[in-house]
């Protein structure tokens, strides 16, 4: 990047950050006690989810699943199922109406055939889709289908799958080996050999991470209804805009304006199902049958079928690290062998590149296919990055007799540069210059009692016979803030309230309240007068889900649309308001300029003479002298929307970092300034291996809090999820038969509030996020970082490292030599 190019980029970024209407204080942004806009609906049970949809004449569809981990259908007899009373259709894999993957839009379905003939894991939906008057009848029909299967060899272990002569887990797509050549990802900078030569201490270790399910409270489902030539679809989908595009492709280019998409509440959907290859397959099959029988069709998975998908960071990881005696890390080399990644891999060295001053880093991630379900981002996207950073920091500290907090502070930085260099970049962009990590760790240390309670590993036995341990971990916040979002916003004519449109998947993060807060403050309206209608397709689609980065993206669009609408209101207030047959309505504020007016609490007033005022409700009301609000040419002007330009596509500046980057054509980096730090206190029973989590402290620099309940709720929920993933949650397969053994909520141990001790959430506001008002994401990252935190805490308690995750009692006892 040339100097002129960089300067133009910085100027553009500064223009995007500049406030056109600066405010010293906000009425609802960042205020506590703001009522959650969906609170009454959800607390009362009135909130509707996709699984709740009931339509007149609706039918129910269920899929045949494979009883084998790897098998193909030789023949199928569906005659008995078709004759069962109440069965309306059995759609088969060999039905001539089923399209091939190319005509289905390829990437939208991730090149997966509907109703495939070959199954690559036990429980996969294959072969047939039975549609009946009830779900129970559809299930009975599936049991009547006679299938001749040809079983194939299978492999479950990711390391064994790489051995010569291993059974091929997916020969149709990977005929040469189980390695997905598209999934070999290398990244890094510097020269690791040079870095290891500079080290005083070199460590090598390995860790494993098991499969976590993506199963949530609401089962995967969807509803399709044909209204003549128009398609009406209810989707359980984080990205309804993708679904709409795919639907248009499926049916010969069906016009987008003939497709109505409803995206109801999602039921705690965090990645997972929404991102897998088959997430639109049920919708497609329902559409085909609905056309054939001329009735609405709902498709559903059962609870067990929802368990087959998992997190994309399951696998085996090998790490080599070099460090100087003062804790300066000189080199990190990582190799990760991950399971069944159905999406492009995320490199395991990513956080060392983005988040540290380590000059020499190299990571290699290998995607290997075995006969288990697909893995995609689930509750997060960067687990292995966080686990590696956690374990390297703590293992280096333990090996050198140092405090891991000090090791983290010493190595904080970005792209191989130290914190001083990073602070210069903050100043260059006009951000406040704050040492985010230091602020976070000091607050976390005080909350957990780090300095008072910390002790050498294995040195503190409690009166109850258990061993006491403390753990610490850290990384940056997720704040890419790059994406697209569309927001529509207008003032209702009758009473002056505001409606926001932006169809989106709402996973329960309370984001819609935050958007209403932004709109209310920017417009000068009361919070109760703003509503976000996000469940229906009005031609606008936001960036979803609203977790790690997307509040920042959608916040830009919401803020910009609100400012556009506010300006239109002020300009309308000084313009003639139209003519009826009997009356000509003069301007509401004759002789004034728009910049002389302001809006607060839904009242337009003259700044120099606040007594000269009019409520927005009166201004746009249908009766009296105010009349309807019209533009000078007689057209309504009460629409403020963001199209396809700034700020909905927002990319922060990229910085060159001074040496060769082994990332293809990626020429720069997006720097992250905000940090997070987390602490955990545990007690470990050395006789049983049981781990009790006594307290978790989460500290997140979110830049600026828009909605306190949303931020604290995501941090609290993320801590509970993280403890579960690190301590109890693992999908288990029988190695002999390839069958999942615990696909239910009884045997798969998701923690409850009774399984985790105190959780304290602390939020830091440095203003260093790329989002509006300096915001940065918080969702996903606590659930991503906390699972690995249990490892150093347990090590501090028992004095030895537990190799695998989750850290279950049997693994603890094995580490202690007792199993």
Instruction: Give 662's DSSP letter.
Output: -
Lowest mean pLDDT among 66-75, 270-279, 604-613, 624-633: 624-633
Average pLDDT over residues 710-733: 93
For 21-65, how does the pLDDT look when each residue is reduced to its tens digit (9 = 90+)? 445 678 999 999 999 999 999 999 999 999 999 999 999 999 999
Nearest by Cα to 487 from 551, 555, 546, 547: 555
Query: At residue 652, does pLDDT exceed 70?
Result: no
Read off the pLDDT band of 549 (50, 70, 90). Answer: low
Query: What is the dihedral sign for C-alpha 402, 408, 413, 419?
Result: negative
- Bridge partner list, 736: none
CB 661 within 8 A of CB 412: no
Both tokens of residue 478?
Answer: 């997720």
CB 128 within 8 A of CB 66: no
SS3 393: helix
Beta-carbon contacts of residue 447 (< 8 Å; ≥ 6 apart): 679, 697, 699, 760, 762
For 195-209, how does the pLDDT look when each residue is reduced to its tens digit (9 = 90+)? 999 999 999 999 999
Query: At residue 12, does pLDDT exceed 90?
Result: no
Query: At residue 626, does pLDDT exceed 80?
Result: no
Say if strands 530-533 and 597-600 run parallel, antiparallel, or are unpaired.
unpaired
**E strands, 661-809, where?**
675-684, 691-701, 758-764, 804-805
Q: Is 795 left (phi over 0), alpha (psi -120 to 50) or beta?
A: alpha
For 125-178, how does the pLDDT look when each residue is reduced to its tens digit (9 = 90+)? 999 999 999 999 999 999 999 999 999 999 999 999 999 999 999 998 889 999
Instruction: Give 596's DSSP letter.
Output: G
Say if strands 597-600 and 603-606 run parallel, antiparallel, or are unpaired.
antiparallel
Q: What is the DSSP string of 60-124?
A: EEEEEE-SSSSEEEEEEE-HHHHHSTTEEEEEETT-TTS--TTTTTGGGGTT--SS-SEESSTT-
Beta-carbon contacts of residue 307 (< 8 Å; ≥ 6 apart): 213, 215, 731, 740, 742, 743, 744, 748
CB 115 within 8 A of CB 91: yes
Beta-carbon contacts of residue 108 (< 8 Å; ≥ 6 apart): 242, 245, 246, 249, 280
Q: Delineate the domains of the chain, giving CATH numbers in brackets.
A: 3-30+500-534+555-661 (no CATH), 50-152+216-306 (3.90.1170.50), 310-480+664-815 (3.30.365.10)
Query: At residue 1, does pLDDT exceed 50?
Result: no
> Rounded to an integer, what distance in angstroms lies between the CA atom of residue 159 and that of residue 173?
19
- Is the preceding peptide bond at 803 cis, omega within 30 degrees of 0? no
For 380-408, how does the pLDDT look when each residue is reduced to its tens digit (9 = 90+)? 666 678 889 999 999 999 999 999 999 99
More confident residue, 113 or 48: 48
CB burial of 233-257 (b: ≥16 within 10 Å; e: otherwise) equals: bbbbbbbbbbbbbbbbbbbeebeee
Question: Rounded to whole angstroms, what are the CA distances from 245 to 108, 109, 552?
Answer: 8, 11, 24
Instruction: Output the pLDDT for position 135.
Output: 98
With the CA atoms of 428, 433, 437 and 439 taken in that order, what torsion angle do they form, in degrees rounded to the nearest 10?
A: -170
Residue 141 is inside which H or E element, if any?
A: helix 135-144
Both tokens of residue 512?
Answer: 């819609």
Both tokens of residue 691?
Answer: 């781990």
Residue 311 is inside which H or E element, if any?
A: strand 310-311
Q: What count of Cα atoms within 13 Å lies in the side-chain half-sphere of residue 485?
A: 33
Both tokens of residue 131?
Answer: 């549609």
Nearest by Cα to 137 from 88, 206, 79, 67: 88
């Amino acid at each position: 990047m040339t100097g002129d190019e960089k300067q133009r980029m910085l100027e553009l970024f500064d223009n995007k950050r500049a406030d056109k209407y600066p405010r010293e204080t906000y009425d609802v942004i960042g205020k506590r006690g703001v009522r959650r806009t969906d609170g009454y609906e959800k607390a009362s049970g009135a909130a509707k989810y996709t699984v709740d949809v009931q339509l007149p004449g609706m039918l129910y569809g269920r899929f045949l699943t494979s009883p084998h981990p790897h098998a193909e259908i030789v023949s199928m007899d569906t005659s008995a199922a078709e004759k069962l009373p109440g069965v309306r259709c059995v759609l088969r894999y060999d039905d001539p109406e089923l399209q091939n993957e190319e005509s289905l839009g390829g990437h939208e379905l991730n090149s997966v055939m509907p109703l495939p003939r070959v199954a690559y894991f036990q429980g996969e939906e294959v072969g047939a889709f039975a549609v009946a008057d009830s779900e129970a009848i559809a299930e009975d029909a599936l049991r009547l289908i006679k299938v001749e299967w040809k079983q194939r060899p299978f492999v479950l272990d990711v390391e064994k799958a790489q051995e010569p002569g291993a059974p091929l887990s997916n020969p149709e797509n990977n005929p040469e080996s189980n390695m997905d050549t598209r999934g070999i990802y290398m990244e890094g900078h510097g020269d690791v050999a040079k870095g290891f030569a500079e080290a005083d201490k070199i460590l090598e270790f390995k860790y494993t991470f098991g499969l976590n399910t993506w199963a949530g409270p609401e089962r995967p489902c969807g509803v399709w209804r044909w209204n003549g030539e128009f398609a009406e679809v209810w989707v359980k989908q984080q990205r309804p805009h993708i679904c709409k595009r795919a639907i248009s492709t499926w049916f010969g280019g069906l016009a987008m304006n003939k497709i109505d998409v409803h995206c109801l509440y999602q039921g705690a959907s965090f990645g997972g199902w929404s991102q897998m290859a088959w997430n639109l397959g049920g919708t497609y099959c329902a559409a085909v049958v609905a056309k054939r029988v001329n009735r609405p069709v709902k498709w559903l998975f059962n609870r067990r079928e929802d368990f087959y998908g998992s997190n994309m960071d399951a696998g085996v990881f090998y790490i080599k690290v070099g460090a100087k005696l003062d804790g300066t890390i000189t080199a990190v080399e990582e190799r990760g062998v991950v399971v069944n990644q159905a999406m492009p891999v995320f490199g395991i060295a990513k956080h060392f590149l983005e988040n540290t001053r380590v000059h020499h880093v190299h990571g290699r991630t290998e995607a290997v296919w075995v006969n288990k379900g697909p893995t995609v981002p689930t509750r997060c996207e960067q687990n292995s990055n966080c686990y590696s950073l956690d374990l390297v920091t703590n293992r280096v500290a333990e090996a050198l007799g140092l405090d891991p907090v000090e090791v983290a502070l010493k190595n904080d930085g970005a792209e191989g540069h130290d914190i001083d260099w990073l602070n210069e970049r903050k100043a260059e962009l006009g951000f406040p210059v704050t040492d985010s990590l230091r602020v976070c760790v000091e607050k976390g240390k005080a909350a957990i009692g780090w300095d008072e309670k910390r002790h050498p590993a294995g040195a503190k036995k409690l009166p109850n016979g258990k061993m006491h341990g403390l753990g610490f971990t850290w990384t940056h916040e997720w704040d890419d803030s790059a994406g697209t979002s569309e927001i529509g916003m207008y003032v209702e004519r009758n009473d002056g309230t505001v409606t926001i449109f932006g169809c989106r998947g709402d996973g329960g993060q309370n984001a819609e309240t935050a958007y209403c807060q932004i709109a209310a403050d920017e417009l000068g309206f009361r919070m109760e007068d703003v509503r976000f209608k996000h469940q229906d397709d009005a031609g606008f689609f936001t960036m979803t889900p609203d977790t790690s980065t997307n509040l920042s993206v959608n916040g830009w669009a919401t803020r910009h649309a609100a400012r556009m609408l506010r300006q239109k209101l002020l300009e309308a207030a000084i313009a003639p308001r139209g003519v009826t047959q009997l009356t000509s309505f003069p301007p509401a504020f004759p002789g004034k300029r728009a910049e002389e007016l302001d809006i607060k609490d839904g009242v337009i007033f003259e700044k120099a003479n606040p007594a000269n005022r009019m409520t927005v409700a009166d201004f746009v009301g249908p009766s009296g002298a105010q009349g309807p609000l019209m533009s000078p040419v007689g057209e309504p002007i009460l629409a403020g929307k963001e199209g396809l330009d700034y700020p909905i596509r927002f990319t922060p500046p990229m910085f060159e970092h001074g040496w060769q980057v082994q990332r293809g054509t990626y020429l720069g980096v997006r720097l992250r300034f905000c940090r997070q730090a987390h602490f955990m206190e545990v007690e470990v029973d050395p006789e049983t291996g049981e781990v009790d989590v006594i307290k978790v402290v989460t500290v997140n620099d979110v830049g600026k809090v828009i909605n306190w309940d949303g931020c604290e709720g995501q941090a609290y929920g993320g801590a509970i999820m993280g403890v579960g993933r690190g301590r109890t949650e693992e999908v288990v397969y029988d190695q002999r038969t390839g069958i999942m053994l615990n696909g239910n909520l009884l045997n798969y141990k998701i923690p409850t509030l009774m399984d985790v001790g105190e959780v304290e959430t602390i939020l830091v506001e440095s203003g260093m996020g790329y989002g509006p008002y300096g915001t940065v994401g918080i969702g996903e990252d606590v659930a991503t970082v906390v699972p690995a935190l249990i490892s150093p805490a347990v090590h501090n308690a028992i004095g030895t490292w537990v190799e695998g995750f989750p850290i279950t009692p049997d693994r603890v006892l094995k580490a202690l030599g007792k199993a």
